[in-house]
Amino acid sequence: MYFKGLTINHKHPDFRNFKWLIKARDKDLSFRNCICFDEQSWAATDGHRLHVFDPPGNIYEQGLYEIIAENKFGIILKQTTQDISIYPDYKHLLDYKHINRLPDVVLETLTIDISYTRLVRLLPEDKTIQYKYFQDMMYLDILWEIYLLEDNKNVFSFDNHIGIIMPMRM
């Protein structure tokens, strides 16, 4: 059986990037169970967080991709026939560089609990972020720049990765 898609095995240079990306998808909503590639960026969202990855070069075909299988050895993506326009418009969230960068918070992946506590203490009193979303953000073992937007969205940025976590009221 032939289908349009991608197989990303554990030796692929972007394997960990894709593993990080698909952590933000919603398995219950059909269009949010997909990840999106549009022109230059891969994106995944569940409505509470957004992960965006810009791979070097443009070797992928634009569209929505359903996750067929995912484990420690690889990821199989199948391109869907759905129009890319049904995917949530996330691009307007990506213009954040002029907003408050949080003071240098050392986010150590070996001490995720301590890093999470440091970050939450910098947020407004009535806001917090889900610990699971923070753990997923730290999956890549990279040093993030963190921005707090006016509407209290938390933006994690590093090179060609952007992650946004929506705040929750306490």
Cα(27)–Cα(132) distance, rounded to whole angstroms? 16
Residue 1's pLDDT is 43
CA dihedral 85, 87, 88, 93 (to 10 degrees): -90
Which is more confident, 100 or 76?
76
pLDDT at 106 over 80: no
Q: What is the pTM of this model?
A: 0.86
Find the angle CA(110)-CA(114)-CA(117) to the nearest 5 degrees: 145
Distances (CA, A) of 124 to 84, 91, 150: 36, 25, 11
Residue 103 binned pLDDT confidence (cut-offs 50, 70, 90)? low
CA dihedral 41, 48, 95, 145 (to 10 degrees): -90
pLDDT at 145 over 80: no
pLDDT at 21 over 90: yes
Assigned token pair, 162:
């952007």
Residue 44's pLDDT is 92
What tens digit of pLDDT does each residue of 113-134 get? 777 887 888 788 888 888 899 8
